[in-house]
Amino acid sequence: MTTIFYESLPVAHLTFEGEWRLDYDQTWDARHSAFPVSLTMPLRSGPVTADRLLPWLANLLPETHLAEIGQRLKVSPQDIVGLLSHIGRDTAGALSIGNPRKPGIHLQPVPDAAALEHILDELPAKPFLVGERGVSMSLAGVQEKLPVFVDEGGAISIPVDGTPSTHILKPDTKRLAGSVENEAFCLTLARACGLEAAEATIGVAGNRRYLLVKRHDRFTDLQGEIRRLHFVSSRATSHRRNTSAPPQDVA
């Protein structure tokens, strides 16, 4: 069984009996402040079957590098739940999959630009730094990216043990020259036109350039703690082919 958490509270449980299903935790269902994980999976409506569950879960995973992630974890890249049980503690929105957030702030500081350059160079073979101690994070999309924690002084760290990331770091890529500058320009132009757009800055680490984007699904509470902001999907569609296969280890 794999559990979905909000902070330290169990929200729902994923079980496999011929196919994956989701059941909301009874204590969560009884809370006045409870919310559904998705509008396609309303509270108090009974078990959620794989046809609605798996598209939502798949959209928490990247569209590329699943083979590399699966190989490092020894999990089939088609095993959506198996992958997220390893890399789903910090995802889009407020929910954590597999394990709850450990109280407090837990970080692996990136000491200097050389260390950050090394991390960026490793990303194609080690997406989201998968396999490193305490690191569990995932984001949808095709472009290489890395959730990071940026403190008030601008220092970059890798969040561990379920600590929420505050920014998304998007490195340059040979496949798409000028991607960093292009996205920074588009965000600046959008703000100049009066549109809401994410705050972003361009950074340099050795020979690498990157865009550092402030996350819109994170906020700081009155106690100064970084919190995750929940949002829900209104559609049960996936960017990848879904599977109802059970967990499977691969060599």
Q: Which tokens is 141 given?
A: 């999309």
d(CA 210, CA 183): 10
pLDDT band at 176 (very low <50, low <70, confident <90, very high): confident
Tell me if residue 103 falls in helix, strand or coil.
coil
pTM listed for this prediction = 0.87
What is the per-residue pLDDT for 163?
Answer: 95
149 versus 45: the higher-pLDDT residue is 149
Mind giving me the DSSP string for 179-196?
HHHHHHHHHHHHHHTT--
Residue 251 confidence (pLDDT) above 60: no
